[in-house]
Chain A
């Protein structure tokens, strides 16, 4: 279980963005997080993935703090894939930075073989985002923080992305924290949702039934 206890964080000279925030994410669980712009959703996501260090509180995975070296069991997926890849590397090198995804998985994410030799600038935002998501799914990764990963994509590409992710997350029991402004998307994807406001987390009533179609709908053929 990914556990965050009593997290407090603020940037230098600013009042705390997060104050006494706690949450837990079970293996295989899909948890939604929304809130106004500037509420601290991305900051919380980066704290959970070890990109920022909390001023107080702890982040643990199965009771152990995040490792300082080696692959982190919690991976963060940022909103802009263009900033998440080395602009001088080809797609193959980017995708295989941490592991070599099998061909079947690449296909499941709609990643075409001819993309491998391209530079990232030659892919669209949606295509590059799929590469980034698959890159983060190294075998020892247990939790994902998906920070507005589909907000810049068209609905069909969004569906492709979430279907691919749902498939592998279900197979490997990966817990996913979905950060989004899109309440409808969170309702479709997640069993529980949280709202971040004034540095505090509030639990929303559980969704009646998370949309099973995301998991079962036939995949769109890559365009």
Chain B
């Protein structure tokens, strides 16, 4: 890695660590601040008392934005982790034989041919909405592209001379999977999960915005953006700008980290 990507990697890692730390601590630190109403300060613009202003019920937008990012972070990372696990399992399943491979390829092609948002909406709606439904919907609709990459990598490794030599040296299949296959695809899984995370966060926000995601009492970023739409004509810009900017910053820094790691591992 040369100096420029190393600096970028360092910065994005630091930012991602900051987001992670605030996500871990926000719930304890904020308490019930995101839900606390101050009727004497409704729709107050950003100022020294309320840095990000307040909403129509006088709730502190800074606390709500931070709580929303925390929620988005957990939903995003859970969905990314689950999606990666499904992708890895399906890629390994495809290695069991030509029939399994054909079946997995068919599932990947079928799911990729359906528009993302439609699939997400259908799954989230079928599961009745809520945090779990969003996590499962995002994971189920996002594993195919990563599974395709992992399957190709496993096909390449399976026919690599050193793996065939390992077989000839008497190593059992379990050993080969554990010591040759998995370590080779793990970096792809990590980068895949990091690149899946921004999609998961944005789709969680989209589902919540459309009303089939997190419930209205949870200060998710999508819920905050949905609420802000009702006040946009009144000029209350801070209701949408701060949660949107926070989401953008989190997504960008995680995506940057994923891209930097991907480039570092591919050179």
Contact = CB atoms under 8 A, between A and B. Distances in A.
B235 interface: no
Nearest to B171: A97
B102 to A, nearest CB: 17
A157 interface: no
A85 B184 CA distance: 13
Given A97-B171, A138-B169, A88 B164 contact: no
A124 interface: no
Interface residues of B, number: 15
Interface in A48-86: 49-51, 69-72, 75-76, 78, 80, 83-86
B161 interface: yes
Interface residues of A, number: 21
Contacts of A80: 161
A146 B162 CA distance: 15
Tell me the dominant secondary structure on chain A's binding face. loop
Given A76-B165, A88-B183, A88-B184, A83 B160 contact: yes
Contacts of B184: 88
Q: In terms of DSSP, what is the predominant structure of the interface of chain B?
A: helix
Contacts of A97: 166, 169, 171
Contacts of B98: none
B168 A85 contact: no
B188 to A, nearest CB: 13
Nearest to A86: B162
A157 B83 CA distance: 50
Interface in B136-181: 160-162, 164-166, 168-172, 179-180
Interface of B: 160-162, 164-166, 168-172, 179-180, 183-184
Interface of A: 49-51, 69-72, 75-76, 78, 80, 83-86, 88, 97-98, 135-136, 138
